[in-house]
Amino acid sequence: MRYNADVEHQYLEILKALGEDPERDGLRDTPKRAAAAMQFLTSGYTQKLEDIVNDAIFESEMDEMVIVRDIEMYSLCEHHLLPFTGRCHVAYLPAGKVIGLSKIPRIVDMFARRLQIQEGLTRDIALAVEQVTGARGVGVVIESRHMCMMMRGVEKQNSSMMTSMMLGAFREDPRTRGEFLNLLNCGQR
Ligand SMILES: Nc1nc2c(ncn2[C@@H]2O[C@H](COP(=O)(O)OP(=O)(O)OP(=O)(O)O)[C@@H](O)[C@H]2O)c(=O)[nH]1
Ligand SMILES: [Zn+2]
């Protein structure tokens, strides 16, 4: 279990400040566990795009739209440090190169495991896919539910947030964007 001792110490202080007894049985290892969990949930800060992609970029004549849909996503909002979770859909129009299929969810995870707002996450994923594939266009849509809006605050259980980022042909050509959004709707369960 990898964790940062400073973070462990701060969690101990938080438990005390909340009026808990950090020495009681159930809590004794909690600062350590929480620090390790937080380290994992923010591990995207220490990852590099080139390591994630690992040269899995292949030359290809294929120039039709590629979509990877329903990538499950778990992140933390930077305002409350509470989870937001949902699905991410990524599409691109290859320009001589395609990317290894698994690398797209890996890119999503790398950015999701940082603190941010959903809009920034959507943008970061789109820019990264554009950068590594040199695609003619990239489209990213994220649908997710924010615990900070459900468990606390305004306490709305049924609303979800949708964000999109369209680059290149997805931004300039309404037919390309329409094809992407139509294909997403077709596949809705
Ligand atoms: N745009 C955007 N807002 C977010 C995201 N995650 C959380 N928020 C919002 O960030 C805002 C922070 O507002 P504040 O008024 O500073 O904080 P707050 O008093 O805790 O707000 P409430 O959640 O309304 O109780 C809230 O409206 C949250 O719903 C996100 O990914 N994108
Ligand atoms: Zn929040």
pLDDT digits (tens, 9 = 90+) for 6-42: 999 999 999 999 999 999 999 999 999 999 999 999 9
Q: What does the block give as tokens for 185? A: 């709707």
Taking CA atoms only, the protein residue closest to ligand 1 atom 22 is: 153
The domain segmentation of the chain, as residue ranges, is: 5-41, 50-186
The DSSP symbol for 1 reads -
State the pLDDT confidence band at 136, using cuts at 50, 70 and 90: very high
Q: If you write DSSP's letter for every residue of 116-153 in order, what string do you get? A: E-HHHHHHHHHHHHHHHH--SEEEEEEEEEEHHHHTST
| Active-site annotation holder among 39, 118, 130, 179 | 118
55 lines ligand 1 (CB under 6 A): no
Interface predicted TM-score (ipTM) of this complex, two decimals: 0.91
Which contacts qualify for 70-76: CB closer than 8 Å, 24 or more apart?
A: 70/187, 71/104, 71/105, 71/108, 73/108, 73/109, 73/112, 73/142, 73/144, 74/41, 74/112, 75/112, 75/113, 75/114, 75/116, 75/118, 75/121, 75/144, 76/41, 76/42, 76/115
- Looking at residue 189, its pLDDT comes to 54
The DSSP symbol for 157 reads S
Residue recorded with tokens 């591990």: 43
Answer for the pair 86, 73: CB distance below 8 angstroms, yes or no.
yes
The CATH code for residues 50-186 is 3.30.1130.10
Write the single-letter amino acid at 152. R
pLDDT digits (tens, 9 = 90+) for 64-87: 999 999 999 999 999 999 999 999
Taking CA atoms only, the protein residue closest to ligand 1 atom 3 is: 117
- Looking at residue 107, its pLDDT comes to 98
114 Rama sector, left if φ>0, alpha if ψ -120 to 50, beta otherwise: beta
Taking CA atoms only, the protein residue closest to ligand 1 atom 20 is: 153
CA of 72 to the centre of ligand 1 (A): 22
118 lines ligand 1 (CB under 6 A): yes
pLDDT digits (tens, 9 = 90+) for 139-185: 999 999 999 999 999 999 999 999 999 999 999 999 999 999 999 99
Active site residue 9: no
Distance CA 1, CA 7 (A): 14
Q: Does pTM surpass 0.80?
A: yes
pLDDT digits (tens, 9 = 90+) for 86-120: 999 999 999 999 999 999 999 999 999 999 999 99
88 is in an annotated binding site: no
